[in-house]
Amino acid sequence: MKRITMIAVGCGLTWASAMVGAVRLHGRLRAARVPSAEVAPPITAPCSSAAETVATEESVAEPVAESPADEDENLAAATSPRARILRLHPLEGPFAEPDAGAVEQEGNLELPPAGIDGLRRLNLGWSRDGALELLVLLSTATHEYGQPIVTESALPDPTWAAFDTRPIGDALVIAIGWGVTPARSFQYLACEHYTVVCQLGEGGVPSCAAPVLVARAPVCRRDGFGAGLPVAVPTIRRRSDYIGDLVLVDGVTFDPEQAAFSPVKPAAWNRKTSDFQAQELGPYTGIRAVRLLLKPRQTHLQLELSAARGEFVGRLRRSRRAGTIGWLGHWAKKGTLLIGWTVGVGVLDPPESTYAACEHDFVVCRMDPDDVPWCSDAVTLARTARCVEDEADLDEDLSAPTWAPDGSAFRIEGRRFRIDASRWKKP
């Protein structure tokens, strides 16, 4: 606004000077008895267009609600007068492990595995009736279905099982690892790695391709320090050297579009079946965990993201208000991850909590085709004039955003934003 005011004042002075000069010239011409001539009115278009150029931000389409959870149905598609542009930058990494240095403040988020429309939960189970049989359990809104994997009878009983997922088009690629926990260590050692590709078939019944064994430990045992594969769950990677949706798991390349799918039967439970903790499935972001931290003697927050290739780190601008990191949450849409947090004062521990949120902040991240996260700078949505315990003028958490269908624009707490990916290759 200062810049616009200066331009307007400058234009006003120019017009005023021109008019004064014209009046003086007209007086001199009359005194010299020279016939008067018409003086053209000042051209106002260049100045007014310059002021408009400074004030105008890009207009974007108003995000349209896709469901009642996104926004209420009264908001129709409209043109937003202004939207702030968020430019993405790559984070540093990958690093093998998270930063283990001293931390003054810290907030952590675990993101759910990615799913596809129609699948709610994913779990792993096993049973033994001579041979060891693993079970991939897929849950829809109404039923649970089981995809069996028959393995070697000589292998030990699983003490753990885990998985990772990645949507490729309409299919869900599932990478599975299972194994044992040695008696003298807490390290997970894998006996086998499998890959299963599933999709939602006719009538909402899941269909899966035949499971593929991609790795098996030569020896798998839990006595002593144990023996097995050191990687618990294999990483699912896109192959960027080919055109198409090829994926790479443990050195084995798959084309999900060429998979032969068969309907999966409802899960058959018996007294010999054991299962592990089921996990809810969410939208794909490529990010498994979020860590927001502040180190001693530092004023900038540090953002750490866990992804398939390892740990990535980015520095955020310093908060304009000193305080404690409070609530930390996230929302995802079409590969875009919005991470929000509050900064405030007071004690966080309930039931004696005196915490008052004084600032609402967020950052937006997306993965590129090389599985590297790109993030925006931190944005402050709201800030209180006074920051006092037990006197909260702001909510303790951020409001949920309203997304555009493709996840490239959103509205949150009355402000509109659009993601500029001009320097970033979309996956």
- Looking at the fold, whether 127 and 211 belong to one and the same domain comes out as yes
Confidence of residue 353 (pLDDT cuts 50, 70, 90): confident
Strand locations in 151-301 (E): 160-168, 171-180, 189-200, 206-208, 212-216, 236-238, 247-249, 252-254, 262-263, 274-275, 279-280, 287-294
Query: Rounded to an integer, what is the distance from CA 275 to the centroid of its chain?
Result: 30
Long-range contacts of 268-274 (CB under 8 A, 24+ apart): 268/146, 270/127, 272/127, 272/128, 272/129, 273/125, 273/126, 273/127, 273/135, 274/125, 274/126, 274/127
- Looking at the fold, whether 356 and 401 belong to one and the same domain comes out as yes
- Looking at the fold, whether 291 and 389 belong to one and the same domain comes out as yes
- Looking at the fold, whether 84 and 153 belong to one and the same domain comes out as no
- Looking at the fold, whether 248 and 232 belong to one and the same domain comes out as yes
Q: What are the tens digits of pLDDT across the range 172-195? A: 999 999 999 998 887 899 999 999
Residue 304's closest CA among 101, 167, 115, 162?
A: 101
- Min mean pLDDT across 50-59, 80-89, 212-221 is at 50-59
Phi, psi at 30, each rounded to 5°: -65, -40
Spatial distance between the Cα atoms of 235 and 180, rounded to a whole number of angstroms: 19
Full residue range of the structural domain in which residue 401 is found: 79-111+285-420
**Domain presence at residue 45:** yes
**Domain presence at residue 72:** no
* Helix, strand, or coil (residue 171): strand
Spatial distance between the Cα atoms of 220 and 156, rounded to a whole number of angstroms: 7
Share of the chain above pLDDT 90, in %: 44
pLDDT greater than 80 at residue 251: yes
Mean pLDDT, the chain, whole residue set: 79
- Looking at the fold, whether 412 and 335 belong to one and the same domain comes out as yes
- Looking at the fold, whether 104 and 170 belong to one and the same domain comes out as no
Spatial distance between the Cα atoms of 420 and 242, rounded to a whole number of angstroms: 26
**Domain presence at residue 65:** no
Count of domains forming the chain: 3
**20-24, 178-182, 250-254: which has the highest mean pLDDT?**
178-182
Confidence of residue 63 (pLDDT cuts 50, 70, 90): very low
Spatial distance between the Cα atoms of 61 and 20, rounded to a whole number of angstroms: 47
